[in-house]
Amino acid sequence: MKVFYNDRHPLHHGRHEMFRGALVPCFEVPARADYVLHELKARKFGSIESAPEADRAILERIHAPRYLDFLGTAWQEWIALDPRNAERDALPSYWPIRTFRSDVLPASFPARMGLFSFDAGSPITAGTWAAARHGADCAVAGARSLLAGERGAFALTRPPGHHAGHDFFGGYCFLNNAAIAAQFLRDQGLARVAVLDLDYHHGNGTQAIFYQRPDIFFASVHGDPHTEYPYYLGYADERGTGKGEGCNLNLPLPRGTGFDRWREAVAQALLAIRAFGAEALVLSLGVDTFEGDPISGFGLRSEDYLRVGADLAAAGLPTLFVFEGGYAVAEVGINTVNVLDGFENA
């Protein structure tokens, strides 16, 4: 399995995020990917490669040009407001919720930051754009390898991507790597592609991007949004709309769910993907389903992830794994590579 590693990911290193009224150290840290890379090397797993830069036009198939423009200049604008801002991350303070306009692009940087975000937990830093941009490159390179005949590929990158929408960031995510890869596979000639999201938190961005599409199936197994982030999307009655009706499957599970019940839900999702007739699978691989994860609530153990990989291999689809969440940093490498090992050895 080829691994496409984002060596620019450490450039995005947030100091703080807003959590329940307090600034706390970020949960999404460079060590997450470092542990995975260390485990890959320790097991001599696959070839670790760099990724060429993807054309911006590929990103614009998923993200709004004005949103990409904002991300590309946000840090410079933040510094221009006050040189002292170089010592602190940029976090939004205002949001255009119901009845407010979102079609007009404000001149104010804080107003634009709110326009293009949905939470205060995703800091923009000096290296956010470089890290996120190269992450998209890794996802596209992984998709290319599937088209070239590889059975599996892994985009090891951060910041993650599945909460990012067409024109907004949040949930630590800025560019939706899984969605970019799925769209690229379609644009290169595959008729039907599936995205399966196994992160503890629902991939609201991916769902919203493809919600009206009949050619890309989205399935997600995640914590029940009645109590779990991102709260406002991920319910079981969300099945797609228009031509995309029936092409969206959410399988929310209560906090405390163990591996057996979780595995049954994943099997249900894979059956739906098979019925859809997908020619390739993009897997949003979050391992925050681990029992020791500090911001999640499922009960998977490290050895369970080997069986997860085997179950995914049994689907018989070329599969691109895209790294998402997982915040029990010491175990994130073992758990992630166990999935890949289970897939390769099935």
The SS3 assignment for 94 reads coil
**Cis upstream peptide for 159 (omega within 30°):** yes
Q: Rounded to a whole number, what is the largest CA-CA distance in the chain?
A: 56
163 has catalytic annotation: yes
Whole-number Å distance between alpha carbons of 305 and 153: 17
**Contact present, 291 and 301 (Cβ < 8 Å):** yes
Q: What share of the chain is helix, strand, coil (3-state, %, to 5)?
A: 40, 15, 45
Looking at residue 103, the DSSP 8-state letter turns out to be S
**Contact present, 327 and 334 (Cβ < 8 Å):** no
**Closest of 211, 219, 201, 198 to residue 272, by C-alpha:** 219
Single out the catalytic residue among 63, 162, 163, 222. 163
Whole-number Å distance between alpha carbons of 338 and 158: 19
In the structure encoding, which two tokens stand for residue 303, read together? 């050895």
Whole-number Å distance between alpha carbons of 312 and 266: 9
In the structure encoding, which two tokens stand for residue 48, read together? 């670790």
Whole-number Å distance between alpha carbons of 50 and 307: 29
Name the residue with tokens 């179950």.
Answer: 311
Task: Mark out the alpha helices in the chain (DSSP H runs).
Answer: 31-42, 56-59, 65-81, 109-115, 128-147, 177-187, 204-210, 259-276, 304-314, 329-345
Whole-number Å distance between alpha carbons of 289 and 222: 9
Whole-number Å distance between alpha carbons of 181 and 197: 13
**Contact present, 190 and 279 (Cβ < 8 Å):** yes
Whole-number Å distance between alpha carbons of 131 and 305: 27
The residues that are catalytic are 163
